[in-house]
Structure 1
């Protein structure tokens, strides 16, 4: 199986990640598939091409390079905007006055009957939430038939989904970029992030929030459906439990993060996953840790219970 899958359904280019691979291989596989589709006449050009599905920044640039000259306009699906329960696309490329850059194209493709899991990873600062988030993304991608884990970074700390892989290659550069992108956690940001969570309609959504119990986090987290509590200090867990319960979130995991230990511990898997995860360190691949593997299966299982 290729690392990136592309198919045309009507005027919609359906894209998604396939077999796990590094970014350079994903780009090569995507390029090969697009070239094949163009050669076979599947991507013959036209007035409008809509693109639906997750893509890395590099793959997004590649797709634009390969197809933007074939179509008068290209619009990209964004799960965080538009009418609730329906897919909306943003016009990102236009060679015609018929479509304006930034214009929303709303569709009648419904998403009313299914509420997809929106799992917030929360807990005190310095517990390793962002490391866990990236480990989960990789672990879930390795589960056959699992949905793509759509990550919403709902904290303006500059550490987006790109950070983990960048840190594995060049930690110093990743830290410099994080410092550049870091912004203040304002009520305006909280309101915007809450709308991202509220409108997310992909099969599995993971939300990374700040490490304090604040009004801003309350605004964001109340739009979620489930919670994973991660804490480096056991005494902090009860207050986060109370916070999540006050927002009506179903807690699916309570995990102690131990930086110094050398192995994970699974204490219970049902009804709530509990135990310990060790050494959540930036720049390390934590996707094969025992706790991360079990938690990945728990989150994938949430979708089948909806």
Structure 2
């Protein structure tokens, strides 16, 4: 079975421009591919070379780069960015569009729904917007590890579920930091490229604009996806409140029980609580309650070691945010 598959769908932009939507499907159990998977990769035979193409799907940057190369004969190439709710034109031979233009296309969710149907995964087709889970708590509790592990667990159970992990913070720990085997290199790169806006006098004034951007991105994500996971960072700041209001649910993780009430207050009354996790360093899972929300003692939350979340937490996420998948 090939590791990379495509869906080719004829479409129109909101302004009526005809184009073709190329949905990328990574057909591996963990959602990862290797560079050698590019060998022999071909575009669908249905490609229409005198039209533009929008590339969309969960895939590494280097795959998008290679697909842009393969699609060079088309009229133009754009890459869908769910955070913008549109596709950014990166190459063109046509006067109809220009490089850097954002084309308003709202089909990512429909494309993913077609994929889900093919894989016998039900979807919520008649809802205006998807859910957004805010993952929050004090520093050093394991928020980013939890967010990535939740992402991995969802991919394992529902490979074609339209969702995204969105990191609304500046710590520099993207998916790459959890998928790179060289832990020392990861630590070096994170330390070198982390930008602590709140302690730099030259950037502290930019914090409201930073979170405004992530607030708008969360709104766009909810328009096209069934679920968004928003990793907010470990500080309670007034600039974050608009972003909180654009989410629907919360998961609080804390290594200090005394810090939990202030994070509960931060999330109330806007967000529906899914879980409170008392983070510990040892290998442990203890259920404290299951209603009205899940409360557990769980650990460890370590980069490179914690690859999935406990089933009871995943089931709670599905119950609250994806009930049609139960």
Q: Which category of TM-score, normalised to the shorter sequence, fits these structures?
A: 0.7 to 0.9
- Please report how far the alpha carbon of residue 29 of structure 1 lies from its aligned counterpart in structure 2 after TM superposition: 4.8
Residue of structure 2 in register with 1:132 after alignment: 146
RMSD, matched Cα: 2.5
Residue of structure 1 in register with 2:234 after alignment: 211
Aligned counterpart in structure 2 of residue 268 of structure 1, from 283, 289, 296: 289
Residue of structure 1 in register with 2:66 after alignment: 62
1:253 is aligned to 2:256 = no
Aligned residues of 2:278 and 2:298 also touching (Cα < 8 A): yes
1:123 is aligned to 2:137 = yes
1:80 is aligned to 2:83 = yes
- Please report how far the alpha carbon of residue 110 of structure 1 lies from its aligned counterpart in structure 2 after TM superposition: 10
Residue of structure 1 in register with 2:212 after alignment: 191
- Please report how far the alpha carbon of residue 117 of structure 1 lies from its aligned counterpart in structure 2 after TM superposition: 0.9
The number of equivalent residue pairs is 288
- Match of 2:98, SS state, is coil
Tell me the TM-score normalised to structure 1 length.
0.84
Residue of structure 1 in register with 2:120 after alignment: none
Partners of 1:42 and 1:267 lie apart in 2 by 54
Residue of structure 2 in register with 1:94 after alignment: 92
1:130-167 per-residue CA deviation (whole Å, 9 max, x = no partner) reads 1111111111111046614301110011112222112x
Aligned residues of 1:158 and 1:182 also touching (Cα < 8 A): yes
Structure 1: tracts of 5 or more residues without a match: 83-87
Residue of structure 2 in register with 1:45 after alignment: 49
Tell me the TM-score normalised to structure 2 length.
0.80
Partners of 1:300 and 1:28 lie apart in 2 by 35
Structure 2: tracts of 5 or more residues without a match: 11-19, 110-125, 199-206
Label 1:236 to 1:4 Cα distance change in 2 as closer, same or farther (>3 A).
farther
Residue of structure 2 in register with 1:171 after alignment: 183
- Please report how far the alpha carbon of residue 127 of structure 1 lies from its aligned counterpart in structure 2 after TM superposition: 0.3
Aligned residues of 2:30 and 2:156 also touching (Cα < 8 A): no
- Please report how far the alpha carbon of residue 28 of structure 1 lies from its aligned counterpart in structure 2 after TM superposition: 4.8
Aligned residues of 1:140 and 1:146 also touching (Cα < 8 A): no
Partners of 1:101 and 1:231 lie apart in 2 by 45
Aligned counterpart in structure 2 of residue 156 of structure 1, from 167, 170, 174: 170
Partners of 1:44 and 1:114 lie apart in 2 by 32
Residue of structure 2 in register with 1:85 after alignment: none
- Match of 2:283, SS state, is coil
Residue of structure 1 in register with 2:114 after alignment: none
- Match of 1:101, SS state, is coil
